[in-house]
Amino acid sequence: MASHFRSYIWDPVLIVSQIILMQCIYYSFLGLWLAGVDGLVQTNRSLDQIFSYEVLGFSTTHGRLSMMAYILNSLTCALGLWFFIRRGKQCLDFTVTVHFFHMIGCWIYNSHLPAALSWWLVNVACIALMAVIGEYLCMRTELRAIPVNSGPKSNL
């Protein structure tokens, strides 16, 4: 019976619950960041800000601030990866899964795939930021020194 360091056990309930948790973190913090943006530019809140690809654009101040909210959300979601996923090699998997489900939600909301280049650029940048920062944080935790106590030391 050999023990494996950090052996991986297939636990579908854990994986599904982590996916649901990361989706909740993604939309909760995106809503908070967008509420902050709405407070800055005095606009009304709407689901269009989350699911409509036409909101994200370089031409308007509101579009640029919404892009900033998406970027900031990827940073807070990286913290979510660090706190709840805790495995560096799973960060990219969960990041892509969260953004894939967001793309499906946008597709359902708009009745077609997002067509704006700005939407795709922002989401690819968010995927890269969330995965790299989450992986960095998780790897720092995984590589932390393990204290080894060999018992009481005798002074010979």
Rounded Cα distance between 52 and 47, Å, is 8
Q: Which structural domain, as residue segments, surrounds residue 74? A: 26-143
pLDDT at 153: 65
How far is residue 69 from each of residues 21, 49, 121, measured CA to CA in Å?
Answer: 20, 10, 14
**How high is the mean pLDDT of the chain?**
89
Decide if 148 is inside a domain. Answer: no
Q: What's the total number of domains in the chain?
A: 1
Decide if 67 is inside a domain. Answer: yes
Decide if 2 is inside a domain. Answer: no
Rounded Cα distance between 80 and 95, Å, is 10
Phi-psi map region of 67: left, alpha, beta (phi>0 left; psi -120 to 50 alpha): alpha
Decide if 153 is inside a domain. Answer: no
pLDDT at position 136 over 50: yes
Rounded Cα distance between 33 and 14, Å, is 28
Decide if 10 is inside a domain. Answer: no
Section 99-120 average pLDDT: 95
Alpha helices (H) along 3-156: 12-41, 48-51, 61-80, 91-110, 117-142
Decide if 102 is inside a domain. Answer: yes
Rounded Cα distance between 132 and 12, Å, is 25
Decide if 17 is inside a domain. Answer: no
pLDDT tens-digit map of 45-88: 888 899 999 888 888 888 899 999 999 999 999 999 999 998 88
Q: What percent of the chain has pLDDT over 90?
A: 63
Decide if 3 is inside a domain. Answer: no
Instruction: Determine which helix (DSSP H) or strand (DSSP E) holds 46, and give its type and residue range.
Output: none
**78, amino acid identity:** A
